[in-house]
């Protein structure tokens, strides 16, 4: 089975894709937001969020060996020591209270040169609450309405049944 085997291939080989995502993630952590194609932004989102999770876990732990381990895991993926340092020292504390959703993608439109769909991907502020789900209005006693309707319906049926059973007087 091929379930979940292929994701965001971007039309390049594995080594090229890893290098591309590492460079995009380094730019994202350094600048906070970058403009790229929509396909690359969608591929970058899970990659970057895993690295941010490493930084968040390092910020929450007291164990120095664990902090070093998580930082080395991030450097192994991102390959840019300076951007990882900035993420772990400056930006990690913003995401401590967030349970995910560290990045946001905005669609910009088509690029003039090749009509590629472009997007802006940015790191979400730690205090940003995002969109709230609209509450549905409470339904008012649907069972009472059904009970009243069922009484109305059963009464005429009983009368017609009695009329059918009665002998016809002629």
Structural domain that includes position 54: 14-123
Asked whether residue 159 is assigned to any structural domain, the reply reads: no
Quick one: average pLDDT of 117-124?
A: 96
Asked whether residue 85 is assigned to any structural domain, the reply reads: yes
What is d(CA 104, CA 38) in angstroms, rounded to the nearest whole number? Answer: 12
Asked whether residue 27 is assigned to any structural domain, the reply reads: yes
Can you point out the beta strands (E) in 94-166?
103-110, 117-123
Spatial CA neighbour of 95 closest among 133, 62, 48, 63: 48
For the cut 70, the answer to whether the pLDDT of residue 4 exceeds it is yes
**Least trusted range by pLDDT, from 7-16, 56-65, 121-130, 149-158:** 149-158
**What is the CATH classification number for the domain harbouring 62?**
3.90.1030.10
For the cut 80, the answer to whether the pLDDT of residue 154 exceeds it is no
Q: Which residues contact 74 (CB under 8 A, 6 or more apart)?
A: 51, 54, 55, 84, 87, 88
Mean pLDDT of the chain: 87
pLDDT tens-digit map of 51-93: 999 999 999 999 999 999 999 999 999 999 999 999 999 999 9
pLDDT band at 165 (very low <50, low <70, confident <90, very high): low
Give 6 or 67, the one with higher predicted confidence.
67
As a dihedral over the C-alpha atoms of residue 56, residue 61, residue 63, residue 67, rounded to 10 degrees, the angle is 0
């Amino acid at each position: 089975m091929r379930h979940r085997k292929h994701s965001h291939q971007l039309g390049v080989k594995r080594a090229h894709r890893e290098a591309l995502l590492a460079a995009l993630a380094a730019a994202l952590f350094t600048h906070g937001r970058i403009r790229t194609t929509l396909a690359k932004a969608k591929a970058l989102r899970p990659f970057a969020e895993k690295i941010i999770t490493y930084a968040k876990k390092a910020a929450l732990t007291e164990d120095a060996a664990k902090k070093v381990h998580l930082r080395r895991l991030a450097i192994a993926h991102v390959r840019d020591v300076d951007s990882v340092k900035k993420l772990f020292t400056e930006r990690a504390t913003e995401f401590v209270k967030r349970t995910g959703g560290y990045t946001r993608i905005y669609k910009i439109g088509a690029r003039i040169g090749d009509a590629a769909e472009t997007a802006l991907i940015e790191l979400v502020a730690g205090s940003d609450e995002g969109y709230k789900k609209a509450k549905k209005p409470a339904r008012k006693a649907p069972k009472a309405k059904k009970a009243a309707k069922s009484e109305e319906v059963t009464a005429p049926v009983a009368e017609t049944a009695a009329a059918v059973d009665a002998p016809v007087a002629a």
